Amino acid sequence: MSDPVKIRSIGVIGAGQMGNGIAHVCALAGYDVVLNDIDQDRLDEAIKTIDGNLARQAARKRISEADHAEALARIKPSLDLGEVGHTNLVIEAATEDEALKKKIFQGLTEHLKEDTLIASNTSSISITRLASVTDRPERFMGMHFMNPVPMMQLVELIRGIATEDVTFSAVREVVVKLGKTPTAAEDFPAFIVNRILLPMINEAVYTLYEGVGSVDAIDTAMRLGANHPMGPLELADFIGLDTCLAVMQVLYDGLADTKYRPCPLLVKYVEAGWLGRKVNRGFYDYRGDAPVPTR
């Protein structure tokens, strides 16, 4: 069994919505953070977003102005994957695409210190399969943050078949230090949250597809009838329809059950490039003053 690792610095690969949120909470908790991406514009936008979100927290008196400044100073944006290798824990937060994630891990391994731990923020993909392309499956696990990261309290922790207890304990300790609640999930497709949530969203899309209700009717029904804070189609737009489809495909392929078949209408929206809020159009059109249902 490996020796315990003291985690003082964290590398985050991917400066998108999830990556910048993870960098934000890690820096605020006192960790030195290297935020890596292949796109300088995305790095610049991520730092701008983190700065704005920290300022919002300070304005609401949840953190001090000094906390804001110190957290921002702890984040080092970098295009060089080698700089990530100097950290004690690397969290991959790239797009939900297994081939892409494996490519990242294969390129990352040569840069890592011998005792560096690796975590993937995947929301659905097998941790065991991802770990298998690295040189340290025993030091690899899933660390699934919820979106938006600074607001959401849960982090799912997933062991691969080779994950050692010391790895799990060290990563769990980080989650607690971030002020979040860890929950353990087994390495099955989509883990706990998305195993339950995404089929519900997919069923809402089927309900729309079959003409049972309009976008507005479905979301209103679930907000007021089930007391959900956000309707399932609005939530799908927030998550990203491409991510929803990717998770459903993982469930369908991994569990071989027709109840997980992605709705053809969800496929059609993704093929159209209507991916939700990030492109200003999905089940709602966000280009005006107020969101307008697209069906």
Q: Which residues are catalytic?
A: 123, 144, 156, 194
Contact (CB, 8 A) for 171 and 22: no
Structure tokens at 275: 């991916």
DSSP 223-237: HHHS--SS-HHHHHH
Structure tokens at 280: 């200003």
- Phi first, then psi: give them for residue 197, nearest 5 degrees: -70, -45
Q: Strands, DSSP E only, in 109-162?
A: 117-120, 140-145, 154-159
Task: Give which of 131, 152, 111 is closest to 17, Cα–Cα.
Answer: 152
How far is the C-alpha of 68 from the C-alpha of 78, rounded, in Å? 20
> CB pairs under 8 A, 24+ apart, for 217-223?
none
Contact (CB, 8 A) for 191 and 124: yes
Strand partners, 120: 92, 142
Element (H, E) at 201: helix 193-209
Structure tokens at 187: 């390495």
Element (H, E) at 36: strand 32-36
How far is the C-alpha of 147 from the C-alpha of 230, rounded, in Å? 13
Contact (CB, 8 A) for 58 and 65: yes
- For 262-280, give one letter per residue: b (16+ CB within 10 A) or e: bbebbeebbeeebbbbbee
